[in-house]
Amino acid sequence: MGMIAGLLLAGLVQAAGFEARPASPAPQLKAQDLAGATRTLSDYHGKVVLLNFWASWCPPCLREMPSMERLRVKMVGRPLAIVAVDSAETREEVDAFLAKMRVGFPVLLDPDGSNTKRWKVFALPTTFLLDASGRIRHVLTGPTEWDEGEALSKIEALLAEPPPGPQR
């Protein structure tokens, strides 16, 4: 049966392509990375951010993840941060998955789903593209190939914008 596994339930939530947003402030992101350090969006200030909410049980999430890793390699030296927030799973579940799929971008943990709820994520994967000033510019519900096509074009367009001033 053609179950779109991660676009779960929300049911009314369908893959709809990139949704442009008027540059809007981002909700708070506060999560630990795999080394136990607390990360926030300010850690990535001055970079375009691809913020991806995923889970290890979600097939579409896993399908797009290799393209995120290829994008990371393609963008080495450029001001792009790829950040994957695991939604509402345990550290053990995340570790078990990452033992099978090694990625070079940071993975943050959201075991209690608090970040998932602050960002109002109802389906997985959901990805936010933020400009270098930390403002949300695009939202994608559902998977894509991040290193090509429309996704790459949108990232390149954000990278081409003038850099922001110093963070206040």
Partner 1 sequence: MNTKHFAGVGLALVLALGVPAAHADLPEHRIFAAAGERLLLWVSSERGRTEPELHAAEQLAARGVETWSLDPVNAYFLPQLPRSMDAVPTPDMVEWLRAALARGKPVTVYAVARAAVPVLRAAAALAPAERARLCVMLAYPNLYTAAEPLAEPAYLDFGSLAGLRVHVLQPRRSAATPWLPGLLASLEAQGAVVRHAILENLREGWWMRETPTAFEVAEGRRMHELLLRELNEWGCK
Residues that bind partner 1 (CB under 8 A): 1-3, 5-6, 8-13, 19, 21, 24, 27, 55, 57-59, 87-88, 113, 116-117, 119-124, 126, 128, 136, 139, 141
Q: How far apart are CA 68 and CA 84, in angstroms?
A: 9
Residues paired with residue 120 on neighbouring β-strands, in sequence order: none
Question: Least CB distance from residue 166 to partner 1, whole Å?
Answer: 27
Please name which of 131, 134, 136, 144 lies closest in space to residue 21, comparing C-alpha atoms: 136
Question: Least CB distance from residue 13 to partner 1, whole Å?
Answer: 5
Q: Which is nearer to partner 1, 59 or 104 (CB)?
A: 59
Q: Which is nearer to partner 1, 119 or 146 (CB)?
A: 119
The dihedrals phi and psi of 140, each to the nearest 5 degrees, come to -130, 125
Question: Least CB distance from residue 147 to partner 1, whole Å?
Answer: 22
User: Residue 53: enclosing H or E segment and its boundaries?
Assistant: strand 48-54
